[in-house]
């Protein structure tokens, strides 16, 4: 059975209050009430997750990061078990913003294993900072995937979502946005890496989504031409109107 396409809203460090978070979440729930063929996840700040869980079961909740330790002297950290216990079912790992703070592939690998052990589904972010004429960026992404998934079993790979985020195409300073054709190239490349490592059959349910400044204007192209299995919107997820448009585009194109 084919996995549903998935839209993962990453709220990042927004909004400022629980009251605002509850309103935003409730508005999103209302705006996607008729969605049936698309899975929707909201990755809100950790402090809001338990409250948001009580608003609706239609949307799955996710965390934006996790620590690899189970319990112990890790001041300020939050374990996968804690996240699962308060209602999270997904967790973003290896986001470019975390990597920019010093997180490496080995850190991400430990987080993925910890998340899987606790019953969470990791959303693994990969992507290059720049594209070079010699195509070294392909090797960069290959190393990211191989090192981050080192030691992950064949039975577990279908539980992982791969989010490709071309760092060079994100933000106001980006030279230009990524195209559906560029994503499709990377989509095929990622599937080749995964099939070599885990086998064609095992990766058939792995969803590869796009996470680089997606909005309601480019979403259709990334699904139709890029063959994306969904999206990881950031800024657009803070607007119920924009977020629901992306979801509805994905829903309309779901088979």
Q: Residue 2 has what pLDDT?
A: 67
pTM, entire model = 0.96
Which of 194, 225, 221, 224 has its CA nearest to residue 207? 194
26-85 pLDDT, tens per residue?
999 999 999 999 999 999 999 999 999 999 989 999 999 999 998 899 999 999 999 999
Catalytic residue among 95, 97, 182, 251: 95
Phi, psi (deg, nearest 5) at residue 61: -105, 145
Q: What domain range is 231 assigned to? A: 5-253
Active-site residue, 95 included: yes
Share of the chain above pLDDT 90, in %: 89
Classified as helix, coil or strand, 228 is coil
166-187 pLDDT, tens per residue?
999 987 777 778 999 999 999 9
Active-site residue, 165 included: yes
CATH code, 38 = 3.20.20.70
Share of the chain above pLDDT 70, in %: 99
Which of 175, 111, 170, 167 has its CA nearest to residue 141? 167
123-173 pLDDT, tens per residue?
999 999 998 888 899 999 999 999 999 999 999 999 999 999 999 998 777
* Average pLDDT value over all residues in the chain: 95
Distance CA 27, CA 96 (A): 28
**Cβ-based neighbour number of residue 114 at 10 Å:** 22
Distance CA 187, CA 248 (A): 22
Distance CA 212, CA 233 (A): 7
Catalytic residue among 39, 97, 128, 165: 165
Q: How many domains does the chain have?
A: 1
């Amino acid at each position: 059975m084919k996995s549903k396409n998935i839209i993962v809203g990453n709220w990042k460090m927004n909004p400022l209050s629980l009251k605002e978070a509850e309103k935003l979440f409730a508005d999103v729930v209302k705006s996607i009430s008729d969605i049936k063929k698309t899975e929707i996840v909201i990755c809100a700040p950790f402090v809001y997750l338990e409250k948001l869980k009580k608003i609706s079961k239609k949307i799955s909740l996710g965390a934006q990061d996790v620590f690899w330790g189970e319990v112990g002297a890790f001041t300020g950290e939050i374990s996968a078990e804690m996240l699962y216990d308060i209602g999270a079912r997904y967790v973003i790992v290896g986001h470019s913003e975390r990597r920019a703070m010093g997180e490496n592939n080995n850190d991400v690998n430990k987080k993925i294993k910890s998340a899987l052990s606790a019953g969470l589904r990791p959303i693994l972010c990969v992507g290059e900072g720049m594209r070079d004429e010699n195509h070294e960026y392909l090797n960069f992404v290959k190393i990211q995937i191989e090192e981050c998934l080192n030691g992950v079993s064949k039975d577990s790979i279908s539980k992982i979502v791969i989010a490709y985020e071309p760092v060079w195409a994100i933000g106001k300073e980006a030279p230009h946005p990524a195209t559906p054709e560029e994503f499709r190239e990377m989509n095929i490349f990622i599937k080749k890496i995964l099939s070599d490592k885990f086998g064609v059959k095992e990766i058939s349910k792995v969803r590869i989504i796009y996470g680089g400044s997606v909005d309601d204007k480019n979403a259709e192209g990334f699904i139709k031409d890029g063959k994306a299995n969904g999206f990881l919107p950031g800024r657009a997820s803070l607007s119920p109107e924009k977020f629901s448009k992306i979801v509805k585009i994905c829903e309309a194109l779901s088979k």
